[in-house]
Amino acid sequence: MAEYVTLTHTFGPLYDEQSRILILGSFPSVKSREANFFYGHPQNRFWKVIAAVTGNPVPATIDEKKALLHGSHIALWDTIRQCDIIGSSDSSIRNVIPNDLSKILDHAPVRQIYCNGAASANLFHKYQEKTLGRTAIKLPSTSPANAAFSVDRLVREWSIIKQALSN
């Protein structure tokens, strides 16, 4: 039987002074922790969705992923800095210490915060919304566990981010 492990986020946020939106995950998956970068599981549809929404080719390398996000004015991080977790299961997360999102929000003109999935949205609401005085929009998870959503359906739902990027 899998056991809880206390883990601390091992990589920082991705943003720059032109980041107009912030997309938050919950906590890096096992594969993302191994890659030391966001959405490292090959079955996660995040990179396909962001590429489609922004009109870019799907990035393959970490440098290409960073270039896509910076070029599209998208900041990326996670709601959790440390937690107890079993594997990659968001539903197992407990004993949360949230990330300090002011690191991004104090240095980038973020117009809107989006959460990749219900876990991220719930954690943001519980730990960060009141402190920051900002709300977030919940988007459907790009995780392979969210089998109810095809890539096309995710792209349609995630297209809402274009509004905040174009203003």
The CATH number covering residue 148 comes to: 3.40.470.10
Domain count, the chain: 1
Quote the domain boundaries for residue 39.
Answer: 5-166
Contacts of 80 (CB under 8 A, 6+ apart): 9, 26, 27, 93, 96, 97, 98, 99, 123
pTM of the predicted structure, to 2 decimals: 0.96
Q: What is the pLDDT of residues 81-114, one digit of tens each?
A: 999 999 888 889 999 999 999 989 999 999 999 9
